[in-house]
Structure 1
Amino acid sequence: MKTFGHWLTYPWRRTAVAALAGALPVLAFPAPALWWWAYLALVPWILLARSAPTGRRAAYDGWSGGFGFMLAMHHWLLPSLHVFTLVIAALLGALWAPWAWLVRRFLTADVIPSRGRVFAALLVLPSAWLAIELVRSWQGLGGPWGMLGASQWQVEPALRLASVGGVWLLSFLVVAVNVSAAVLVSVPASRAPAVAGLVATAATASAAWMWAPRPDADGQARIAVVQPGVIDGPDSRFDREEQLTRRLVGQDVDLIVWGESSVGYDLDDRPDLARRLAELSRVTGADILVNVDARRSDRPGIYKSSMLIGAEGPTGDRYDKMRLVPFGEYIPARSLLGWATSVGKAAGEDRRRGTEQVVMEAGHGLRIGPMVCFETAFPDMSRHLAGDGADVLVAQSSTSSFQQSWAPAQHASLGALRAAETGRPFVHSTLTGVSAVYDASGRRVGSRLGTEASTTAVYDVPLADGVTPYVRYGDWPVHGALLVLLVLALTEGARTVRPRRTAPAPLVPPARTAHESPARPWR
């Protein structure tokens, strides 16, 4: 009877299984949001790479699994980018090839891993995973969408840990737990170090959870979100946003936030729109943060700009989006990859980038740190805004192209992590949902606005003071992971070049032939 292991000896079958194993972690993210699944989701992938007959085959398992992970995490791009989504997933999937090679290196099924090797795996494999997340965090490679630690956005103890080491620390711990679980399942003789690793992980996490400072309450801001819904055309959208904003008259709000691309014209070219916005600010008694997606009149190119509007019109506070969505807002190496526009909804013209982040001061002394859409996936951007004195982090977004997918819910969940990391409340305002607000600990404030809603919502947002360890010390888990990999590389390199001292081979007499006399000794 053929076993499953024998069935896996066929390369294409093994590749398909690896891709499926790599896709499993996506169930821990919204919309399924099975957060507990993240702590087991990597086990099948680890067991497959561990059983690879060679290091090269393990690397292929890593590449295939990485392809499955990236495709599952970005499957909602298929209607827009079509076959190019597969190309991107295949290219980025290669980042996991060294990780799977290391899995086999430390947990190979050919021998029983020693206690020291298991302990090393609990340090090296999570570190290697963080290195992958660091590389793909570059916006040119798609940015840090789907970082493994982001699956824990609704777990309060995990959010507390995020204030210590950011989403990076959560990713490290999740991978470490998966490695321990894989050892417990597959290597009975090494269960003791695996259990010790789990205990150490739990103890470290508990100590950090207890030590992490809580945000200090510092007043309250009343912030309104305007979500018009899916409306075609900038004029109709503006009319609907204006209508919804008038509902806020008399509600004593401190700030009104419109979504990404809420204004489709440069306000210098359309003073009539600027006057209408100023009049809305006067009647509501609050500044309005809009987002202009238009060709600028004062410089060439199209920008996405967050602009603060007061009772007298634009206040002069402006933030131009810095990190653009690859293929959605620009095409990397357009001369080489410009053909993507012929197979999907890739950007026909590259938008221009801003050069620096901005903290704006709205009415009532409220300091806000704006970000636009994709930028909420980058933990460093919210960290810098908090360090520069922002009282509230505000994200303006639009996911109208992906309404029926998992993208809106996953995008909104990132606000919880950014709030917990920085100790600042987070307002996620979208054109079409999901809009949500989180307090400084990452807990949701009020109810969210789903993709079916066209309405306004007012949130009493608790403000907070103080500096979290993550804001103070930055991406220290990443630095620690890179140090671990550097030590590993130096150790392996030294082992490779170390002179090998071997004893001289003993003299062995040659075999006698039938013609030689057995009585004559060999000299």
Structure 2
Amino acid sequence: MRIPAGRRKQWERLPRSGRWRGCLALLAGALPALAFPAPSLWWLAYVALVPWLLLIRSAGTGGRAALDGWLGGIGYLLAVHHWLMPSLHVFIVILAALLGLLWAPWGLLVFRMLRGPVSGAAAAAAVVVVPCGWLMIELARSWDGLGGPWGLLGASQWEVAPALRVASVGGMWLVSLLVVAVNTAVTLLFVAAAARTAAVVGLVVCALAVGAMAQWAPRPERSGVARIAVVQPGVVAGPHSVERRLAVSERLTGSLAGRGLDLVVWGESSVGVDLSRHPEITARIAALSRRVGADVLVNMDARQTDGSGRAGIFKSAVLVGPDGLTGQRYDKMRLVPFGEYIPARSVLGWATSLGKAAGEDRLRGSRQVTMSIPGADGGGGLRIGPLICFESAFPDMSRNLTRDGAQVLVDQSSTSTFQHSWAPAQHASLGALRAAENGRPMVHATLTGVSAVYGPLGERIGAPLGTDTSAAAVFDVPLASGTTLYVRLGDWAVHGAGAVLIVFCAFEGVRSLRRRERVGPSGAGGGAPAAPSHGEPAGRPGP
């Protein structure tokens, strides 16, 4: 088949005008991934969006800007989730292409705010509106059906103390807003002299806002210490790996006797059977509890029946005491798409043939729970809020547990499938944000690393257990009382960003309507027809 000459010329022009620009958009969108663990170049997050913003600004049309936004979104998602490629193969590219569409409207918004000469007033508006548009993207993809809130830009600031203070005020959402605001202000420094003053003012305002929040935000008050042990058996491969992992966990737990513990935490899927149907294994764990003088929080990944009579595979946090099962259990509510279930399996079930997608859907729990651990004297005790795996990425779940009285947030996880990637460090870093948001310590216990503990300000407690470690470690976890502004007020930053965008869209709509009224239906302005030019006959168009 012959290609028409006109189309062939368009294709020949594409490498100069479109193909290379598309590659630049992909690379520009991928750049912020370096701010996350494992590279952890946290400072890069404050300028990493600048090349992307400048590229979108240079788009000649709104359609090109939307395309730059989409391609950059693809690059961002692939870079932040690149460790999923061995499991999902080509399907990760399809998912990135679909989710990347969320950035297409943002590309239009950036183009509208930054194109052409930018006045001081327009620059000030851009520093506010552009971050709000970004936050709507983060909100949309935080739905667990779209993969959950993994790789949100604010999460890159997990080890920056002032940013953690900001998180205690408005959650990770507010941190993302400030990071994008700084990127927008830096971009404005390059685009026009008239906008530079407003850009500098915007940067100063962002710095002052962070400083004020870090200084005046209420701090949780220390209220004691809990001694909590994390048991990380490490990589156990080969036949009967589940039974061998259990044996290693028992041996490591037994070594903790005499340490004055309040709780021992095992990782996700640490037990491969339903303990209610295997009393012999329950008895072994209860014997460990008596030996170390503390309850053991294990995690069952097995076919079982929940309290409502549903039968299937659940992932459940179960507390075992010296007398056996305590009756306290939490079933995982938010499952990993494709890893633990396949959305619309009748349509997308073919994904199981491409990678390590779930062969059978796990069932969801129906509610969150807090668990009570009695003190050594039978009174006092400790209240913990269990989470399982990537549930630690959801700010609302930790907030709910804190509001329900949890003194310690505990996440049981396993990233052994992605052992030699950025995933374990990325996952562990989320614990710092959840701790800071809620003013409660977070224990992140895994099977194979990285296991880590964070204090109520998000500060790291002790040394983490890396992915090359098989050990049991004891942490003196500081407890805290009182609540943060985020716990009290919730996701106000998200609601505020939505309100800003509604006002902006209304303003743009009114201005567009007035512009059309001035121009008139003929496009030549309203009112009486324009008089012909001198020397031009009436009724004839000019040259």
Scaled by the length of structure 2, the TM-score of the pair is 0.91
Structure 1 position 489, deviation (Å): 1.6
Q: Which residue of 2 aligns with 1:517?
A: none
Q: Which residue of 1 aligns with 2:346?
A: 335
Q: Which residue of 1 aligns with 2:433?
A: 417
Structure 1 position 299, deviation (Å): 3.2
* 1:233-272 pair list within 5 angstroms: 233-272=241-280
Q: Is the 8 A contact 2:120 2:194 kept in 1?
A: no
Q: Which of residues 39, 46, 51 is equivalent to 1:39?
A: 46
Q: Is the 8 A contact 1:264 1:294 kept in 2?
A: yes
Structure 1 position 224, deviation (Å): 0.1
For residues 464-521 of structure 1, give each alpha carbon's deviation from its aligned partner in whole angstroms, at most 9, with x where no partner exists: 00010000000000000000011112122223334614232333279679xxxxxxxx
Is 2:186 aligned against 1:181? yes
Q: Which residue of 2 aligns with 1:346?
A: 357
Structure 1 position 336, deviation (Å): 1.0
Is 2:528 aligned against 1:504? yes
Counterpart CA distance in 1 for 2:191 and 2:16 is 19
Q: Which residue of 2 aligns with 1:103?
A: 110
Q: Percent identity among equivalent residues?
A: 62
Q: Which residue of 2 aligns with 1:456?
A: 472
Is 2:322 aligned against 1:311? yes
Is 2:51 aligned against 1:27? no
| Structure 1: stretches of 5+ with no match in the other structure | 1-5, 514-523
Counterpart CA distance in 2 for 1:40 and 1:189 is 21
Q: Which of residues 363, 366, 373 is equivalent to 1:355?
A: 366
Q: Which residue of 1 aligns with 2:386?
A: 370
Q: Is the 8 A contact 1:226 1:429 kept in 2?
A: yes
Q: Is the 8 A contact 1:397 1:428 kept in 2?
A: yes
Counterpart CA distance in 1 for 2:163 and 2:254 is 39
Aligned pair count reads 506
Query: Amino acid of the residue matched to residue 122 of structure 2?
Result: R
Q: Is the 8 A contact 2:257 2:291 kept in 1?
A: yes
Secondary structure in structure 2 of the residue aligned to 1:276: helix
* 1:76-475 pair list within 5 angstroms: 76-108=83-115, 111-232=116-237, 233-297=241-305, 299-364=310-375, 365-475=381-491
For residues 265-320 of structure 1, give each alpha carbon's deviation from its aligned partner in whole angstroms, at most 9, with x where no partner exists: 00122111111111111111100000000000453110000000001111000000
Structure 1 position 210, deviation (Å): 1.2
Counterpart CA distance in 2 for 1:65 and 1:382 is 31
Q: Is the 8 A contact 1:372 1:397 kept in 2?
A: yes
Q: Is the 8 A contact 2:74 2:100 kept in 1?
A: yes
Q: Is the 8 A contact 1:286 1:363 kept in 2?
A: no
Structure 1 position 37, deviation (Å): 0.3
Query: Amino acid of the residue matched to residue 367 of structure 1?
Result: R
Counterpart CA distance in 2 for 1:174 and 1:271 is 52
Structure 1 position 190, deviation (Å): 1.4
RMSD of the TM alignment (CA)? Answer: 1.4
Secondary structure in structure 1 of the residue aligned to 2:56: helix
Scaled by the length of structure 1, the TM-score of the pair is 0.95
- In 2 relative to 1, CA 8–444 (structure 1 residues): closer, same or farther, beyond 3 Å? farther
Q: Is the 8 A contact 1:329 1:350 kept in 2?
A: yes
Query: Amino acid of the residue matched to residue 127 of structure 1?
Result: C
For residues 95-126 of structure 1, give each alpha carbon's deviation from its aligned partner in whole angstroms, at most 9, with x where no partner exists: 11111111110110xx3111111111111100
Q: Which residue of 2 aligns with 1:64?
A: 71
Q: Is the 8 A contact 1:255 1:363 kept in 2?
A: no
Q: Which residue of 2 aligns with 1:520?
A: none
| Structure 2: stretches of 5+ with no match in the other structure | 1-12, 376-380, 519-525, 538-543
Query: Amino acid of the residue matched to residue 203 of structure 1?
Result: L
Counterpart CA distance in 1 for 2:43 and 2:513 is 44
Counterpart CA distance in 1 for 2:207 and 2:534 is 63
